[in-house]
Structure 1
Amino acid sequence: MTANYNKILVPMDGSKESEAALVRAIELANDAGESGVLSILNVIDTRAFQNVASFDDTMVEAVSDETRKSLEKYKQQALDAGVKNVDYLIEYGSPKTLIAKEVPNEVSADIIVIGATGLNAVERLVIGSVTEFVTRTAKVDVLVVRG
């Protein structure tokens, strides 16, 4: 018996792995038909801004604008592939906690489709990967996609 995944969450960070995860998430959403909902997520890690001496709101706005453009592109990719219900979210904070716990609750996700590795190699070496944390702590199924 296969599980029916109607509400699919896919975190995106611009890496090739996350783009492969988006392709797989689109397939799952299409498999769900009219009840399929694809939520595309990007988490802006505000901790990265804490160490910048000249940090101000314009920096966050610039990053948010670029993120919004990328998410619009990903949303259009899903729509072009036939997914009827697509939305996107931009969150601010710790990617690990937001992806594993908070956002899946917000969107009532049935599954998280995530790339095996992301863009942040330093964090992966120092404190462990986001994907590893998500697979260990998420309350919903997690599909790890290799690029």
Structure 2
Amino acid sequence: MEMCYRHILVAVDGSEPAEWAFRKGVEVAKRHDATLHLVHVVDTSQYRGIQMYDIHFTEKAINRAKELLDGYVQEAKDKGIEKVETLVEEGSPKVVITKKAAKKTGSDLIICGATGVTAVERMFLGSVSEHITRHAECDVLVVRTEKE
């Protein structure tokens, strides 16, 4: 039985683990001739207080996200990926990726980097990758960096 992925969602945030996830996403998309959906979630749950001082903070974060995604799109195309789409969302990444972005893109595979938070942060906040693996309705690939 052959298993092919047609819509691959890669969660990117500019971190090293996300960079590794992106690279793996490009490899898998090439093998499956799949559409690569690059998703960045502006985590508005983490900076509510900042918005009191800078009402344009979310707008700035969205613009930075679009610039980040533009760079990833160019790199993916340079590596031979023809079908690349981007999506910027706001909210909690762990919820938005599984409940909104994966459905919006019709993803049959989600690729994300392994957590970069410490054990204490994970205890209080929970790992985004852990949440994705527990709640996604499709396959999930968690990519580790060489350091991990």
TM > 0.5 between the two?
Answer: yes
Aligned residue number for residue 64 of structure 1: 62
- TM-score normalised per structure 1: 0.90
- Following TM superposition, by how much is the alpha carbon of 1:123 offset from its aligned partner in structure 2, in angstroms? 4.8
How far apart, in 1, do the equivalents of 2:63 and 2:123 lie? 29
**Number of equivalences:** 143
Q: Identical aligned pairs, as a percentage? A: 38
TM-score by length of 2: 0.90
What does residue 144 of structure 1 align with? 142
Structure 2 unaligned segments of length 5 or more: list them: none
CA distance in 1, matches of 2:11, 2:121: 17
The aligned runs of 1:1-147 (5 Å cut-off) are 1-33=1-33, 36-52=34-50, 53-56=52-55, 58-118=56-116, 121=118, 123-147=121-145
Deviations 1:94-131 (A, max 9, x none): 1111112211111000100110114x557534121000
Calculate the aligned-residue CA RMSD, in Å. 1.5
Give the 4+ runs in structure 1 shifted more than 2 A.
120-125
Q: Is the 8 A contact 1:49 1:55 kept in 2?
A: no
Structure 1 residue 89: deviation in Å?
0.6
Q: Which structure 1 residue ranges, 5 or more long, are not aligned? A: none
